[in-house]
Amino acid sequence: MTLRRTEFKVIAFDADDTLWRNEDIFIHAQDEFINLLLPYHDETYIRSHLGDVQIQNLEHFGYGIKGFTLSMIETAIELTEGRISGNEIHEIIQLAKCMLASPVELLPNVENVLSKLEGKARLFVITKGDLLDQESKLARSGIADYFETIEIVSDKTSDAYQQILQRHNIPTEHFLMVGNSLKSDILPVLDLGAQALHVPYHSTWDHEKVTDDTLLQYPQLTTLNDIADLLGWLDFSSLNNKQAV
């Protein structure tokens, strides 16, 4: 299948686990939380129950560390039948604060790619999650100046992407999305008729996974091994000396 090499005027990037590490922080915190509750239940049951509570709470608290923290507290109360102590709840809160204060670790090749694309296309970040946390990570990342626009949304649906394109007057054929999550970054964009490139991360939250049957509906799906491959996919030489419109 021959891939389109449109002169994309806007290239948007997901943030968490596309530009910098994020899921690892959640995995570590979840492991610490499970250790806290091991006197009450076995690991498999705690992990499963926490996952269920997280999914149920998305409509109430959304994505991000704050919602995850509330889900840990709710899980702790339920699995201990209210016996969880104030000190143990405080440990959960401290765990959340450590997550929020974690250093922003850029993924390999990210800054090199952004520096090569700067001035060749309008660069966006489109991410979901808690506004304060996402703004803080971007400010601490050292790469904020590469981006013309930052969009932080409550969820990444086709409607959300469509609203962004309309707000910035971007035709779908001139828009490219790059991200690690098939469910959030790729498939909703492909549904609009725009282009998206999947750059997998080594770990994916179960809620962000899609079935093989679903993927069969997207023969145009394109996966890159590394974000560095984006420049080659774009046929970067053809972008030289062309300024974004």
Kindly report, residue by residue over 74-120, the tens digit of the pLDDT.
999 999 999 999 999 999 999 999 999 999 999 999 999 999 999 99
3 state DSSP class of 11 = strand
Helices (H) and strands (E) in the chain, counts: 10, 6
Question: Do residues 96 and 69 lie in contact, with contact meaning Cβ atoms separated by under 8 Å?
Answer: yes
Could you tell me the pTM of the whole model? 0.89
Q: How many whole angstroms separate alpha carbon 158 and alpha carbon 122?
A: 21
Question: Among residues 81, 100, 119, which one ends one of the domains?
Answer: 100
Q: What residue numbers bound the domain in which 114 lies?
A: 10-20+105-239
- Strands 175-179, 222-223: pairing is unpaired
Shared domain for 59 and 28, answered yes or no, is: yes
Helix (H, G, I), strand (E, B) or coil at 103: coil
| Same domain for 225 and 121 | yes
Based on C-alpha coordinates, what's the Rg of the chain?
20
Q: Are residues 110 and 211 in the same domain?
A: yes
Report whether 49 contacts 29 (CB < 8 A).
no
Sequence-distant (6+) residues with CB within 8 A of 25 are: 99, 102
User: Domain holding 51: CATH number?
Assistant: 1.10.150.240
Tell me the CATH number at 14.
3.40.50.1000
Joined together, the tokens standing for residue 111 give 């800054």
- Identify whether residues 32 and 141 lie together within a single domain: no
pLDDT digits (tens, 9 = 90+) for 160-205: 999 999 999 999 999 999 999 999 999 999 999 999 999 999 877 7
In 3D space, the residue among 183, 177, 192 whose CA is nearest the CA of residue 155 turns out to be 183
**63 and 117 in a common domain:** no
Predicted confidence (pLDDT) per residue in 134-169, tens digit: 999 999 999 999 999 999 998 999 999 999 999 999
User: How many structural domains is the chain composed of?
Assistant: 2
Q: How many CB atoms lie within 10 A of CB 185?
A: 27
Distance of alpha carbon 244 from alpha carbon 178, whole angstroms: 18
Do 112 and 152 have their domain in common? yes
- Last-in-domain residue among 73, 100, 127: 100
Q: Is residue 134 part of a domain?
A: yes
